[in-house]
Structure 1
Amino acid sequence: MTNRRPVECWLTDMDGVLVHEEQAIPGAADFLKRLQDAGRRFLVLTNNSIYTPRDLRARLSASGIDLPEESIWTSALATAQFLQDQREGGSAYVIGEAGLTTALHDAGYIMTERDPDYVVLGETRTYSFEAITRAIRLIEDGARFIATNPDATGPSPQGPLPATGSIAALITKATGVEPYYVGKPNPLMMRSALNRIDAHSETTVMIGDRMDTDIVSGLEAGLRTILVLTGSTRPHQVDRHPFVPTRVVESIADVVPLIEQFAPAAE
């Protein structure tokens, strides 16, 4: 990282990097405060489409992390922006929670079960057989299939839960139609985040805990990447992938000194 352009902007994943099961990871609050004190542009990214940024801000605050809601970028927001760019003022049948429906409403989309332009699948804790059946029939009738992210499972205190990718696979099996995934590892989510904070890929770093989503999407978007070992990826798993992060560290606490180390020179 030392022989490239200074780092002006930072993107970071949320779960496994800043928090683990709603408990702050040591160093997370300090990392975000350092960014704010230094005036660095940054966004916290998450593939979770259940919650609005306001909800996530409240949940992070309860764990001791103070983060403005405008600094949170979700797969639901990225999906809404993508659909607005593709078909402004369109319509969608949505399976998901408030994070997704609110984002689509704010983008000017109409929620409907009658001849929608898109079926949009997000994450929810209450997937219903009736809703999935309706989605299958609408796709067979010509609706385009969009999913917020490909994550097959999500965490819970009791163990893994089926997530968007698993339900998407069920719908694909029934219809033969693959969804277009907007969230990580699609670099589209990274590029939409870069555009949101007016950042350039050559001067931005992506921090994540998953090689198969955070690191690969950062790499494909042209960013430098930092893998932390506090989440999904174990040290012995890093070399199994055909790509490598720019740097591997134990936790977000190890990234704090890098904010100033790789900062732009004072004007």
Structure 2
Amino acid sequence: MLSKVKTVLIDLSGTLHVESTETPGAIDALNRLRSSGLKLRFVTNTTKESQNYLYNRLKSIGFDIRKEEIFTSLLAAKELVKKLKLKPYLMLADEAKEDFEDIPCVQTEHEDGNGVVIGLAPNRFNYESMNTAFHMLLNRSQLIAINKSRYYKTNSGLCLAAGPFVAALEFATDTKAMVVGKPNDQFFMQALEPFDCRPDEAVMIGDDVRDDIDGAQRLGMTGILVQTGKYRASDETMINPPPNYLLPTFSDAIDLLLK
């Protein structure tokens, strides 16, 4: 299954690092992967941080990484906003808004807007902002969810991700969000686009059994679930078929790839 792999897609948070700490052996493993000649790209549902913010964080940890190698669901959402010609209300963390600096946005429901973009924004998820989004959606604005992840890992444990808040708005307004991040097929195909690579020639390494692994495997990629980050015991039983490989860390995944 791995013998024809040309491209490696790598999740970030939970797979390579948790906040500002690398997962065991991740920096060295990434260096070994680079030396192999395989093509690689970092694909992330992280919505709290812009591409530039992520790049600087990873460099400060010690990873050998280039900014253009990072493909985020934030950037995918921005492209969709431009395509649909939306003027959105942004439910995003301040560190994420950098990616939308050239997009005309609204601040309140009383402005002339036609979209709501929602990501993980812990400091924005309050009654006032949710109610603003609620009223805009009732007025037929388009709801764009950067992802619908259930939870993510921090140094203090698991925390709610954006998915529960997206679900609340969908329920309240009887609408369905357009989801742009993993496990969206289009997101994975956009990630592979620069390499002229078929899905069955790619492998996805991640800690989220649904968004990373199930999404990739449904498209034909090989899935490697690592037991770091948000992984919880028996996660591998939550999808059918199960992950192609289940390994303790990203470093173990690279060992397997390079055999």
Q: Which moved more, 1:152-161 or 1:199-208?
A: 152-161
- Matching residue of 2:190: 192
Distance in 1 separating the partners of 2:238 and 2:116: 35
Q: Deviations 1:221-256 (Å, cap 9, x if unpaired)? A: 221111111233345332343221222222111122
Percent of aligned positions with the same letter in both sequences? 27
Distance in 2 separating the partners of 1:73 and 1:27: 23
Distance in 2 separating the partners of 1:244 and 1:260: 22
How far 1:143 sits from its partner (Å)? Answer: 0.5
TM-score scaled by length of structure 1:
0.85
Q: Which moved more, 1:112-121 or 1:198-207?
A: 112-121
Q: Are the structure 2 counterparts of residues 247 and 20 from structure 1 closer, same or farther at C-alpha, using a change threshold of 3 Å?
A: same
- Matching residue of 2:202: 204
- Matching residue of 1:25: 23
Say whether 1:182 aligns with 2:176: no
Distance in 2 separating the partners of 1:29 and 1:224: 22
How far 1:73 sits from its partner (Å)? Answer: 1.5
2:68 to 67, 70, 74: 70
- Number of residues paired by the alignment? 255
Q: Deviations 1:74-107 (Å, cap 9, x if unpaired)? A: 11012112333x42x432111102454333345x
- Matching residue of 1:6: 4
- Matching residue of 2:92: 96
User: SS of 2:117's equivalent?
Assistant: strand
Q: Deviations 1:197-228 (Å, cap 9, x if unpaired)? A: 44321211001112111111111222111111
User: SS of 2:133's equivalent?
Assistant: helix
User: SS of 1:155's equivalent?
Assistant: strand
Q: Given residue 71 of structure 1, which amino acid in structure 2 is its aligned partner?
A: E
Q: Given residue 123 of structure 2, which amino acid in structure 1 is its aligned partner?
A: T
- Matching residue of 1:264: none
Cα RMSD over matched residues?
2.2
2:54 to 53, 56, 66: 56
Q: Are the structure 2 counterparts of residues 77 and 69 from structure 1 closer, same or farther at C-alpha, using a change threshold of 3 Å?
A: same
Distance in 2 separating the partners of 1:199 and 1:102: 30
Contact 2:188/2:216 (8 A) holds in 1: yes
User: SS of 1:233's equivalent?
Assistant: coil
5+ residue gaps, structure 2, are: none
5+ residue gaps, structure 1, are: 262-267
